[in-house]
Structure formats: C-alpha cells, structure tokens
C-alpha cells in the first residue's frame, strides 16, 4: 500500500492567536511601564529620644519664593549659594545648617536649596517652619 | 491566451519577521521599564541631583499640590494618618513621600513634625533626575 506524501503543501502552524496574545502583552507593558528615573532624598525625622542635639552655631538659610536665599544676614541667589556656603561650612565647627523656608515657597525651590547645601558639604540639615 | 489561475497554493503572509519584532519590543519593555502602579493623583515630583535610588517596598504616601495627603488610595487628614501609622506594625522605619513640586514646602515640614510622634524615623522624598 502506498500513501501519498504531501510534500508540496506543508502544514503551517497558525500564528494568529500567538500574535494576538503577544500584541496584548506588548500593549499592556507599553501602557504600564514608566521610564521616569526615580530618585530620593532621605530626610531624618527629628530625634525622638528627647536628647536634643546642639544646633548652636549652625548656619540659617531662608529661601523665599522669588528664588533668593537669605543666609544668616545677607541675601543671594540660589545659584550662588554653594559658592558662598562651602567656605563658611569649611570654617564652621559642626557643619550644621538650618533651613527655614518663607511662606509659599514651593517644594521644588526647597529641594534645589537642599541639593546646594548637601553639595556644599553640610553634615546635618534641619528643616523648620 | 489563457492564464493559469493559481488557486491551490495561495501565498500566505509570512508573519515571522513581525513576530520577531513584536517579541523584541515586548522584551525591551519588560526589561527596561518598571511597572508603575496607577497613580492616585497626577503628581510631578521635584527635580534633584540626588543619586539615591528608591525602592517601592516602603509605605507610600502622596501629597498633592493642594497639600492633601493620600495613603493607600484614600485621602486622609494628617491626624488620621498618624493614627493609621501608629496601628501599623513596629517595623516601619521609612516612609516614602511622593510630593508634588508645586506644594508649599511648609506642608512637608508639618508632616515631618507630625511624624515625630510615630515610629517612622526617616522619610524619603521622591524626586526625579534633572535631565
């Protein structure tokens, strides 16, 4: 007995359903994936032990909503802060900074100021109202 | 003149290259991105030059541009947030704060002052890179 070998018409796997599923997965991941580079700033909550660390001699920095910063007694722009603060911190004993934003200062301004202060080499930053 | 009509072996569209490209894209999105949970509010975090990476394992709280606080997809007042945090297990040491860049900075300080009474001893303010 002889069977006819169907060499001409090879059975092909139907890929349509596979393509459907893969497209669905692709669309799901395209919509839910974010490429935002998230970073963080760690802020310590003040000590709860009741032992208050000394902030005597710390430098007071007060950012305002116009992009200016008042440092101890003089006023300067945020961009100049690091240049002015670095030598002051180098000379100071405890390298501590107190940041007290004025009213209506947005978070972006505060974060920019915190960046500058950390860049200047402060060891401790305290945030007060 | 007569033309042969090829009825039997109809040309099938070859899907292989398309499947390859789609798989490649799929793998790219799987590997390169992080799946984000649907945001409660549209919060734009502030830019910072900080290089510290954040993990999503910590408890997340949200602070929108009006100073409203959300915890686990519910708007809560500061007082009730403190109550909730007190009830949580004693293992929370770090709280991740997603605050909008437009929010009044005093709101963050108020939040930090309120957290002084809880077991939280550090918050991570989520930021994005500048570029």
Q: Look at B127 and A38 and tell me if their CB atoms are within 8 Å.
A: yes
Q: In chain A, what residues touch B109 (CB-CB under 8 Å)?
A: 101, 127-129
Q: Look at A42 and B113 and tell me if their CB atoms are within 8 Å.
A: no
For residue B37, the model assigns a pLDDT of 63
For residue B59, the model assigns a pLDDT of 80
In this prediction, residue B64 has a pLDDT band, given cuts at 50, 70 and 90, of confident
The half-sphere exposure of B35 on its side-chain side, counting CA atoms within 13 A, is 6
Q: Look at B29 and A111 and tell me if their CB atoms are within 8 Å.
A: no
A66 CA: distance to closest CA in chain B (Å): 14
For residue B72, the model assigns a pLDDT of 78
For residue B125, the model assigns a pLDDT of 85
**Mean pLDDT of successive 10-residue stretches along chain A, which has 129 residues:** 63 81 88 78 68 72 86 83 82 82 88 86 81
For residue A39, the model assigns a pLDDT of 83
For residue B7, the model assigns a pLDDT of 55
Rounded CA-CA distance B14/B12 in Å is 6
Rounded CA-CA distance A85/A116 in Å is 9
Query: Which residue blocks in A33-126 are alpha helix, DSSP H?
Result: 78-91, 107-119
pTM of the model: 0.72
In this prediction, residue B10 has a pLDDT band, given cuts at 50, 70 and 90, of low
For residue B50, the model assigns a pLDDT of 79
Residue B39 β-bridge partners: none
- B58 shares contact with chain A (CB less than 8 Å): no
What is residue B94's DSSP assignment? E
> Is it the case that residue B61 has pLDDT exceeding 80?
yes
Which positions 11-40 of A are in contact with B (Cβ < 8 Å)?
Answer: 12, 15-16, 18-19, 22-23, 25-26, 29-30, 32-40
For residue B114, the model assigns a pLDDT of 83
For residue A127, the model assigns a pLDDT of 83
Query: Is the ipTM of this structure higher than 0.85?
Result: no
The mean pLDDT of chain B is 79
> Is it the case that residue B104 has pLDDT exceeding 70?
yes
Contact residues for A101 (Cβ-Cβ < 8 A; gap 6+)? A62, A63, A64, A109, A110, A113, B105, B106, B109
Q: In chain B, what residues touch A45 (CB-CB under 8 Å)?
A: 112, 115-116, 120-123
């Amino acid at each position: 007995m002889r069977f006819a070998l169907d060499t001409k018409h090879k059975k092909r796997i139907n890929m349509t359903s596979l393509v459907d599923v893969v497209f669905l997965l692709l669309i799901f991941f395209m919509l839910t994936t974010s490429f935002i580079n998230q970073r963080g700033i760690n802020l310590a909550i003040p000590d709860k032990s009741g032992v208050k660390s000394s902030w005597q001699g710390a430098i007071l920095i007060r950012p305002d909503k116009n992009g200016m910063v008042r440092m101890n007694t003089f006023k300067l722009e945020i961009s100049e802060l690091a240049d002015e603060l670095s030598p002051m911190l180098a000379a100071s004993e405890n390298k501590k900074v107190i940041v007290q934003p004025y009213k209506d200062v947005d978070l972006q301004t505060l974060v920019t100021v915190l960046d500058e202060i950390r860049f200047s080499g402060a060891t401790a930053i305290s945030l007060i109202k | 003149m007569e033309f042969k009509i090829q009825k039997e072996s109809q040309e099938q569209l070859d899907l292989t290259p398309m499947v390859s490209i789609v798989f490649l894209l799929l793998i790219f999105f799987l590997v390169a991105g992080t799946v984000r949970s649907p945001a409660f509010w549209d919060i734009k975090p502030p830019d910072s030059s900080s290089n510290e990476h954040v993990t999503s394992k910590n408890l997340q709280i949200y602070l929108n541009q009006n100073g409203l606080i959300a915890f686990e997809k519910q708007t809560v007042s500061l007082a009730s947030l403190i109550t909730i945090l007190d009830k949580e297990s004693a293992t929370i040491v770090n709280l991740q704060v997603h605050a909008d860049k437009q929010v009044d900075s005093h709101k963050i300080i108020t939040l930090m002052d309120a957290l002084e009474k809880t077991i939280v001893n550090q918050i991570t303010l989520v930021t994005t890179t500048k570029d």
